[in-house]
């Protein structure tokens, strides 16, 4: 729909981590800006060993339109580092890393394993297929499962909970879903840690706190954790279009201006983009309480 509309100036999406890899090559061939609120997959903008030819293959018209993707959310590179920081805080000596084989799952799993090996040399890291017997034989005290498939994650985590009690289960933001966690067996829920871009209430910048308050007043409930990123994605696109003035209908100008955002004050804080990526990196780590994911720790980094 977007590429058939010659007046389209920007595309907001995708939501699920890793799925922008489908829409991005299509949009790039039309020189149309794509801004993702919540797709954290680093391979969309950076080389990833687990994803051959990344990020080049997502920009088939780069010789004409260059790169056309940007996001207001931090990437899996920072997410992996935060995951490993928590593993270290829990004094995990043996970690098992597996994935569902998807580009997203494989890349975030690779990043976690690499960070654990390089930055935490005291931690023994084993990699392999997502099976309970492999985890048990490795003697792992924690498992990270890189996956976007809730079905695969449910099968793996439930089998681990049955086979080996007290194995801590770690998952990335693609699995940050209350419906997913509520379907896990109780033992898996008890041992689960899931990361996601976002803030804890006390860590919101003033504009972010106002966004939450205004949202609550308008809709009668708190926004989902990812809603603040959706709001900023749209707000930033509209701001760039307004500032473009008479060039607002020129796709190349809008792409350039958005990817060149610098010191933008927003509900997320003040940020700049470099190669389409933000220098803000707010993540929360959540556990399950009463069948729902509840943040308990906030991580942030600014480059």
* Model pTM score: 0.96
Q: How confident is the model over 56-70, as pLDDT tens digits?
A: 999 999 999 999 999
Pairing of the two strands 292-299 and 283-289: antiparallel
Q: pLDDT by residue (tens digit) across 176-229?
A: 999 999 999 999 999 999 999 999 999 999 999 999 999 999 999 999 889 999
Question: Is 279 in contact with 303 (CB distance < 8 Å)?
Answer: yes
What is the CA 162 to chain-centroid distance, rounded? 29
Asked whether the beta carbons of 52 and 27 are under 8 A apart, the reply is no
- Is the pLDDT score of 303 beyond 50? no
Contact call for residues 261 and 273 (beta carbons, < 8 A): yes
**pLDDT digit string (tens) for 72-126?**
999 999 999 999 999 999 999 999 999 999 999 999 999 999 999 987 778 999 9
Average pLDDT, rounded, for the chain: 96
E strands in the chain: 10-12, 33-36, 69-71, 94-99, 124-127, 142-146, 168-171, 192-197, 273-274, 277-278, 283-289, 292-299
Residue 302, pLDDT > 60, answer no
Q: What is the pLDDT of residues 254-277, one digit of tens each?
A: 999 999 999 999 999 999 999 999
């Amino acid at each position: 729909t977007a590429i058939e509309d010659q007046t389209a100036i920007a595309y907001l999406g995708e939501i699920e981590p890793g799925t922008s890899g489908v829409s991005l090559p299509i949009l790039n061939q039309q020189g149309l800006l794509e801004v993702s609120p919540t797709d954290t997959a680093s391979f969309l903008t950076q080389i990833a060993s687990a994803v051959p030819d990344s990020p080049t293959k997502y920009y088939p018209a780069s010789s004409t339109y260059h790169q056309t993707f940007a996001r207001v959310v931090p990437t899996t590179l920072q997410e992996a580092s935060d995951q490993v920081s928590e593993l270290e805080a829990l004094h995990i000596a043996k970690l098992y890393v597996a994935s569902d084989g998807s580009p997203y799952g494989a890349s975030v799993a690779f990043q976690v394993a690499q960070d654990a090996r390089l930055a935490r040399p005291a931690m023994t890291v084993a990699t392999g297929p997502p099976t309970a017997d492999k985890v048990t034989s490795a003697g792992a005290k924690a498992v990270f499962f890189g996956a976007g498939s809730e079905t695969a994650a449910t099968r793996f985590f439930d089998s681990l909970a049955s086979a080996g009690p007290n194995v801590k289960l770690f998952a990335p933001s693609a699995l940050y879903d209350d419906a997913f966690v509520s379907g896990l067996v109780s033992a898996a829920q008890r041992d689960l840690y899931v990361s996601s871009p976002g803030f804890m209430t006390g860590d919101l910048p003033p504009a972010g706190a106002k966004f939450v308050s205004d949202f609550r007043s308008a809709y009668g409930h708190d926004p989902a954790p990812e809603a603040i990123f959706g709001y900023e994605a749209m707000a930033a696109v509209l701001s760039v279009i307004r500032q473009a003035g008479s060039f607002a209908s020129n796709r190349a100008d809008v792409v350039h201006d958005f990817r060149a955002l610098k010191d933008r004050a927003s509900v997320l804080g003040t940020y700049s983009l470099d190669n389409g990526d933000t220098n803000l990196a707010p993540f929360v780590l959540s556990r399950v309480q009463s069948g729902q994911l509840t943040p308990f720790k906030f991580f942030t980094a600014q480059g």
